[in-house]
A and B are shown apart, each in its own frame.
Chain A
Amino acid sequence: MLLQEEEKLDEAQRQLLYQNINDDAEWLINVVENILLTTRMDNNSLTLNLQPEAVQDLIEEAGNHMSHLLNGHTLEIVPQDELMMVEVEASLMIQVLSNLIDNAVKYTPQGTVITITQEKHADEVWIRIADMGPGINDEMKKNLFTMFYTAGSLRGDSRRGLGLGLSLCRTIAEAHHGRISERDNDPHGCVFTVALPLMKEVQIDE
């Protein structure tokens, strides 16, 4: 359109097209990154670049990534007084959290709230992404973490997922000696929990 008929468009229409190009490009970048990650994961020799990171920082960064893709949803990050540290490859873990937030956005109605919490459980931290959407039926639950699985009824060109997300998330969590699980939210919706080993607290001397 822009290449051939630009003069026929007014400013608002052009802006709309620019925005669409931007959105498409961003989606493409995400897809390619996911695919690159998958190939990296397939080799059993996966070397992670582990660094100590604050759980709060990871959650915030994921929130930032997703901020303009929230589509009318509200993201509520519940802060924690206690500083929790994990040993992760930051960009990977942020991708996991972003993926989970993205799923919550895609599969719940506009205007609903997505809540992210972090809790200490023994020597683990549990990062929970909870939504109040329609939830996941038992059939879908069985295949949730399978590569390329997309919730069938929501297929259609407007639902731009590739189904790579959850399988990749699980692989990354497990590579970090953690795990991802899903359960129903009360009274409805989903809660995805990413469990990661906590780093031992460090003593500060001034």
Chain B
Amino acid sequence: MNKNMVLVVEDDKAVRNLIALTLDTHDYKHVEAQSGTEAISLSLSYRPDLMILDLGLPDIDGMDVIRKTRTWSAMPIIVVSARSDDRDKIQALDEGADDYLTKPFGIGELLARIRVSLRHSGMNSVQGKKMKEFRVKDLYIDFEKRKVVAAGKNIHLTPTEFKIMELLCRYSGKVLTHNFIINEIWGSVLGSETQSLRVFMANLRRKLEKDPTRPEYIYTEVGVGYRLVEQ
């Protein structure tokens, strides 16, 4: 029996039911809140392992819930937003949310996001522990030897490309916003880095993917950022 407790914050009954049902049938415990204030009080009393937070709440701004929660907890937060709100999602991620779901979403996606978020919260990825190696499908990276092998072939990456891969691998399965990657790699967000990042990612794709038009390692979340396939 999965002992993880999920706090579901969603005022839309249909979506709330869908999430609750999915959690129940996959052995997660859960509590439900329908407003931001309820969310904050329930998270304090139940100390959930993860929060699923709808950004379109009736009382306070979803961002406020994230900010307030982050003052005392590092619990993973997955935000749920309506389709066209790229800016909301990015802001939420930059404010401390860990991942996002866009309505309508499938339960496969929901479960994958929960799984990845819980895994990373347990692993203290943020503490910057050095990874020794990373392996998924036909991709293998030895960080100590600085060796990258894709589909049996040795791949040469430039120093920056390698840094980016190391970052993606550390957070594998989780979405990383453009701002986050740029900050981690270049230390600041000026104007031109956004474009540079796109170019670096395109080059990485070309080097690592069997078919760059059908990526199986580096997924582009258009308008938000990038995600490396879950290990």
Residues in chain A within 8 A of chain B (CB atoms): 25-26, 29, 33, 36, 49, 51-54, 56-58, 60-61, 77, 79, 83, 85, 89-91, 94, 199, 202, 204, 206
Contacts and interface: CB of A to CB of B under 8 A. Distances in A.
A83 B158 contact: no
Nearest to B192: A202
A52 B192 CA distance: 10
A128 to B, nearest CB: 16
Contact of B84 (A33, A54, A199): A33
Given A79-B212, A90-B86, A53 B198 contact: yes
A123 to B, nearest CB: 16
A92 B202 CA distance: 22
Contact of A56 (B159, B160, B200, B213): B213
B18 to A, nearest CB: 13
8 contacts: A54-B220, A56-B212, A56-B213, A77-B213, A85-B199, A90-B222, A94-B222, A206-B158
Nearest to A76: B213
B220 A57 contact: yes
A85 B194 CA distance: 11
A206 B160 contact: yes
The B contact surface, by secondary structure, is: helix
Contact of B198 (A79, A83, A94): A83
Nearest to B203: A83
Contact of A85 (B195, B200, B203, B212): B195
Given A29-B104, A79-B213, A91-B84, A202 B195 contact: yes
B132 interface: no
B196 interface: yes
Contacts of B194: 51-52
Given A58-B222, A60-B220, A49 B198 contact: no
A53 B212 contact: no
Which 7 residue pairs are nearest across A and B when measured between Cβ atoms?
Answer: A90-B223, A202-B195, A90-B222, A83-B202, A61-B222, A52-B195, A57-B220
